Amino acid sequence: MGRYPVVLYGGDVMELKLYATNDHDNVINKDLQLIYTVTIKLKNTVDIIQPDIVLDDENTMDFSKCNYAYLSDFNRFYFIRSIKVMNNHFWNLSLECDVLESFKDDILNSYVEINRRLKEGEYFTTGAKVETIREIDIYKSDTTLRNEKNIILSTIGGA
């Protein structure tokens, strides 16, 4: 997967909000507790997907309380994947974009239908209105189906 750098020239400032959350990575509308708000200047090229942010802090912030972040100019939320002490007062926060939270409005307001081919041995379950479980087996055939909806009925004789 490629890297997506963003360059802020001339030491542009932005707001970094550091949060704590107990929600799992795959949750939309995370419950966030704001711990710190910091104004930062980015001086180098920064990857918008996985930025590393270096903070100058002389033990005024307890980074161990933080596991989530927001960068205002990028308008994105991030998981804090690691926090490393670089020396007495420089800290490196390795972030990873939380796509679900960053684009939750688009996701929640979209209508999609996802189709995926089932593989041999997988189970298919329907919604709450119909209670069925089917085991899917794939059989090769020399018959070509038309490119439209088809219903296939198969039976297996047994002893």
Q: What is the pLDDT of residue 155?
A: 53
The number of distinct structural domains making up the chain is 1
Tens-binned pLDDT, residue by residue, of the chain (159 aa)? 344 444 444 456 889 999 999 999 999 999 999 999 998 888 777 889 999 998 888 778 888 899 999 999 899 999 999 999 888 788 899 999 999 999 999 888 887 776 777 677 666 555 555 445 556 566 667 777 677 766 665 555 444
Residue 12 lies in a domain: yes
Q: By residue range, what is the domain housing residue 28?
A: 5-108
Q: What is the pLDDT of residue 29?
A: 93
Residue with tokens 């690691």: 82
80 pairs with which residues across the strands?
Answer: 95
Residue 151 lies in a domain: no
Residue 135 lies in a domain: no
Contact predicate 80/20, CB 8 Å: no
Which residues neighbour 118 within 8 Å (Cβ) at sequence distance 6 or greater? 124, 136
Q: What is the pLDDT of residue 85?
A: 87
Residue 75 lies in a domain: yes
Residue 136 lies in a domain: no
Q: Which of 18, 42, 46, 45 is nearest to 32 (CA)?
A: 18
Q: What is the pLDDT of residue 159?
A: 42
